[in-house]
Structure formats: structure tokens, C-alpha cells
Amino acid sequence: SQKIEQNSEALNIQEGKTATLTCNYTNYSPAYLQWYRQDPGRGPVFLLLIRENEKEKRKERLKVTFDTTLKQSLFHITASQPADSATYLCALVPGGSYIPTFGRGTSLIVHP
């Protein structure tokens, strides 16, 4: 069956360090992979998108990698800040589809 796996345990890191979140998937052939941020009581907010033929994408302090052989995406936040504390969701979009399928998300807590 199709699965999207994100670490269910919260990631606790110290301010200034790099946070790395993982998204693994099985039985999918995504054309795109998206990362969203969700704060309590709010809807997810889009951060970055990476296509299947791209290895890496950057935006300011954010970096996403996509390895279709390992079936894995890594999401990095460099020089993390307490304001980066949130739940981060990955979402896969199959080729020919408009519909993102979401993982459960990983909670990131950045300590001052």
C-alpha cells in the first residue's frame, strides 16, 4: 500500500543549529513533492516544491533534497530560530494529478 512516512517524534534542536526533517515514501511515483508548514490552529502554508528531476531546491534558509531512488526527501532549515517551531508536512503529487497527499508531519521545536 502507499505510504508517506514522517518522523512522528518531535525534533528538538538548539537555536542556530540546522534542522533536518525526513519524508520517506513507498509505492508512489511522485512528479512533485511539496513541503508545508503548519502552526497550531492554522492551515498548512506552502514553503517549497521540488520536481522529480530536481535534486535540490533552496529558498533563503530552507533547502529541500529529493532522491527518487531512495524514495526520500530531506528538508533542512539552517540557522534555525525559535520562530521556526511548527509542524512541517511533506506532500506528494503523482504525475497527472492535481491532488497532494500529505504525510502526518513532524513537529520541530527550536529552543533559544
Q: How far apart are CA 16 and CA 32, in angstroms?
A: 30
Q: How far is the CB of 88 from other proteins (least distance, A)?
A: 13
Q: How far apart are CA 25 and CA 86, in angstroms?
A: 22
Question: What is the DSSP code string of 24-56?
Answer: EEES--EEEEEEEEE-TTS--EEEEEEETT-SE
Q: How far is the CB of 33 from other proteins (least distance, A)?
A: 10
Residue closer to other proteins, measured from CB, 13 or 49: 49
Residues that bind other proteins (CB under 8 A): 4, 31-32, 34, 41-46, 49, 51, 89, 93-105
Residue closer to other proteins, measured from CB, 11 or 49: 49
Q: How far is the CB of 100 from other proteins (least distance, A)?
A: 6
